[in-house]
Structure 1
């Protein structure tokens, strides 16, 4: 996952709205979002190489997502996708999970991690000490620490703010994620392509977009759109809707 745009507690009817693109090598084996057979409370896509996920939600009202940190080296070899799976399976609060993770962060490949138990939304990475509770508002997370900003996250954050102000539908949010306009003027074609919200390169690009919207009545909606990575594939959109378990 290379760009996560989210609105947290800015709308009394929709406490959390997420619009996110996953960028990955096309050859990496992946399962589309679904409820996991062995963990039926989890709704997420699945990375078949390491078993984790890039973004997911649960029937218990939990959300988690991860991005990599580009140009960062780390001695850790644990898959960052396991952070998403572990948080969704956990019964810990956001604060408890973040505290426990602090002593384990260096074991993982470079990551940005964001998660919510429904009450608290927190962010952490494994190149800086500590973690933080995110305040109500719109946030943009890319492949750099949240404390930094580049043209891609800046434009993404601004577009998300405008979309929320206009009460954008899931279809409009998906269209926003399809923006393939470079955000930097670079001589290097690869860097210019990577600065786009929607990436299209030989063998690598945006493989899926996800929209998550929670309702004050406990309903969660999850849309995932998959994009063709070869001539034999077609674009596909799927939608899931559920209510959070009572007492979750």
Structure 2
């Protein structure tokens, strides 16, 4: 996944509202969101190649998602990053999930990632490029991309122009998705869905010549009581409708 937008503690009745695009090789097999575990109950799509996931939530109201992180570091990638997301989804709180990530990178080496964990009480961004940085996010709209969180991006020396363009795209997304006066979370989520599929923002990508592009898109709302509404587009959001996920927590 390469674009992750979260409105955290922006709406009183929905502390976690997420809109996210997943960019991936077009031939990498995956399965749409469903209940993938019962204790705790977890809803997430599944990477049929490595067995992990890139986004999901659990019965405790914990949300976890990951993006690749562009870095100049030479990382072995001994373990799939999607399996780390799956591990974090077993946790009962965002803080517990962040501590799990700290232990995980000490035990195994992963390719670069930005991993966000959030619940009603905390939102923590874990950035890994051979060294781990964790930081709590404040209330507001946050955009995370391959270059990091908008406002504190790191442009890799190996991809300067590509990195700068992605950072600019992210700034435009964040500016456009600032909440409007009196706007509720459902209206904001609908605007976010439009932005994710609008090619003017550069976050719905099509690179068929490289067999790569936006494969799916997620809209996820976690209410103050921990209940959730998950809508999923099993294809690029510019031409794929968001459908309610039948399996919910």
What range is the shorter-chain TM-score in?
0.7 to 0.9
Q: Alpha-carbon deviation of 1:141?
A: 0.1
Q: Alpha-carbon deviation of 1:156?
A: 1.4
CA distance in 2: counterparts of 1:197 and 1:164, whole angstroms: 26
CA distance in 2: counterparts of 1:214 and 1:111, whole angstroms: 24
Q: 2:228 aligns with which of 203, 209, 220?
A: 220
State whether residues 78 and 109 of structure 2, in contact with CA within 8 Å, keep that contact through their aligned partners in structure 1.
Answer: yes
Where do residues 8-87 of structure 1 align in structure 2 (5 Å cutoff)? 8-36=8-36, 41-72=41-72, 73-87=74-88
Change (3 A) 1:36 1:173: same
Equivalent position of 1:191 in the other structure: none
CA distance in 1: counterparts of 2:57 and 2:204, whole angstroms: 23
Q: 1:152 aligns with which of 162, 169, 173?
A: 169
Q: 2:206 aligns with which of 197, 200, 207?
A: 200
CA distance in 2: counterparts of 1:20 and 1:169, whole angstroms: 13
Change (3 A) 1:214 1:163: farther
State whether residues 219 and 241 of structure 1, in contact with CA within 8 Å, keep that contact through their aligned partners in structure 2.
Answer: no
Q: 2:128 aligns with which of 126, 129, 139?
A: 126
State whether residues 163 and 173 of structure 1, in contact with CA within 8 Å, keep that contact through their aligned partners in structure 2.
Answer: no
Structure 2 unaligned spans of 5+: 155-166
RMSD across aligned C-alpha pairs, in angstroms? 2.6
1:147-187 deviation per Cα after TM superposition (whole angstroms, max 9, x unaligned) = 217102111111221468643254433222101126xxxxx
State whether residues 42 and 56 of structure 1, in contact with CA within 8 Å, keep that contact through their aligned partners in structure 2.
Answer: yes
Change (3 A) 1:129 1:71: closer
Q: Runs in 1 of length 4+ with deviation above 4 angstroms? A: 37-40, 162-165, 241-244
Q: 2:146 aligns with which of 133, 143, 147?
A: 143
Change (3 A) 1:96 1:38: closer
What is the TM-score normalised by the length of structure 2? 0.80
Equivalent position of 2:198 in the other structure: 179
